[in-house]
Amino acid sequence: MTAPNPDDPSPDAVPDGTESGANHVRVPVRIEEALGAAAMAAICLISIANVVVRYATNISFAFTEEFSVFLLVFMTFVGASLAFASNEHIRITFFLERMPPALRWICEVVTVVATTLMFSLVVYYSASITYDEWYWGETSPGLGNPVWIYTIWLPLLSVAILLRVLGRAWATLRPARRRT
């Protein structure tokens, strides 16, 4: 990360000249960090156990792919929530850093609106899919588990991402936080 510039009126700069990072959050980002690390550790343990068992017995665990895919999606959504909370989501800073403050603020608003719209659609459609899977009693082909126990996390984590996006917007876009 680059050193903060006290003269930088970007939405990340707070009045004392320091970068805000995740300092604005009321819910600690340690939650996402711990959940992401736990998911990564579980993927590693499941994969290593499957390799060892397959090598030793020539038989593989049936559940490894099913759980690994679920954990990877879970980790991705938790990571997205963390990225938005700490303002480290993907963006093109080359152009943003060269814009005047008013145009930067407009770009931040467009980013918040687009992200909110996208994750609102994810919440709606994933909740619809989860409900359908629950209603029709769909089971996974590998283990026969109800599929909704995997897909319920999509709308839940999308809501968490939306809350992080809106919290970040509140911290960076309100007039008291930005300098013009």
125-153, pLDDT tens digit by residue? 999 999 999 999 999 988 899 999 999 99
DSSP letters for 31-80: HHHHHHHHHHHHHHHHHHHHHHHHHHHS---SSHHHHHHHHHHHHHHHHH
At 19, give phi and psi (nearest 5°). -75, 140
78-131, pLDDT tens digit by residue? 999 999 988 888 877 888 889 999 999 999 899 999 999 999 999 999 999 999
Kindly tell me if the per-residue pLDDT of 15 is higher than 80: no
43-74, pLDDT tens digit by residue? 999 999 999 999 999 888 878 888 999 999 99
